[in-house]
A and B are shown apart, each in its own frame.
Chain A
């Protein structure tokens, strides 16, 4: 990594890339999500049929990924806001990024059982 380039290839750039990728993914999910929720206006059966796919093990894995994306985007978004509005924000941006990553890891471990528990039970039998 070329020394002297302050931004390129370092934490600041990669957190920006991750923020952008997660933001775009969440937007696409939301589009589909409003469409599937709209099925409550069609019939209870139509809605329940589609929601059934949300309960399959494979989709549970996608839900875990969505939670990962939201949590990162939310926590890093707060960091971006702190960098912009807090007078000492720019100085602590790197420490704040590692705080974000730390909280994110803890929350993702906490989400393992609630989000994936039922999928594991289904795949490996009660």
Chain B
């Protein structure tokens, strides 16, 4: 605590030049303002849930893994072995014959969808100001995310090269 209790004449403190007197002195001490975030006896043990922190960390961890998963995927699909021209049912059948690429695609599906959905949740929080709009947009986002993850997972696990 500073002992200098006179208010500056102008500038800095934001107090204009009118108050040309000391507002506080030894006998009239300034009211004590609690430091922000100071823990008091009334502060609960956990001051916030861990969810936002976990989400923040997840964005970074999944991001690092996605760099490898997605860029390799693009290289395989668009660059190597004739680029897009070779893609077709037979090509997919060949790739999903290997458990390695099944797991690869599964991991890519879950991580990219959860990473993207959490990113969109942030974007909605930033721009949709009316509580109702937020509720609806997030409801739509979560529905689409769950649907896409389930559909993609189902497709990988039930793929049938001899569909006819």
Contact = CB atoms under 8 A, between A and B. Distances in A.
Interface of A: 20, 23-24, 26-27, 30-31, 34-35, 37-38, 40-41, 43-44, 47-48, 51, 54-55, 60, 63, 67, 70-71, 74, 77-78, 80-81, 84-85, 111, 114-115, 117-118
B48 interface: no
B83 A114 contact: yes
Interface stretch (B5-13, B21-29, B32-40, B62-70): B62-70
In this complex, the member of B70, B83, B152 whose beta carbon has the largest number of chain A beta carbons within 10 angstroms is B83
Contact of B116 (A30, A43, A115): A30
Contact of B152 (A38, A67, A71, A84): A38
Contact of B84 (A41, A60, A85, A111): A60
* Residues of A contacting B: mostly: helix
A37 B155 contact: yes
* Residues of B contacting A: mostly: helix
| Interface size band for B | 35 or more
Nearest to B112: A30
Nearest to B119: A23
Given A43-B163, A44-B163, A70-B70, A118 B79 contact: no
B158 A23 contact: no
7 contacts: A27-B116, A40-B89, A41-B155, A55-B85, A71-B71, A77-B63, A111-B79
A74 B71 CA distance: 9
B53 interface: no
Contacts of A114: 78-79, 83
Nearest to A19: B119
Contact of A40 (B63, B78, B92): B92
8 closest A-B pairs by beta carbon, nearest first, are A27-B116, A44-B89, A114-B79, A34-B152, A77-B63, A74-B67, A47-B89, A23-B119
Contacts of B109: 34
B74 interface: yes
B99 interface: no
Nearest to A71: B71
B64 A81 contact: yes
Contacts of A80: 60
A40 B84 contact: no
B128 interface: no
Given A40-B89, A74-B66, A30 B84 contact: no
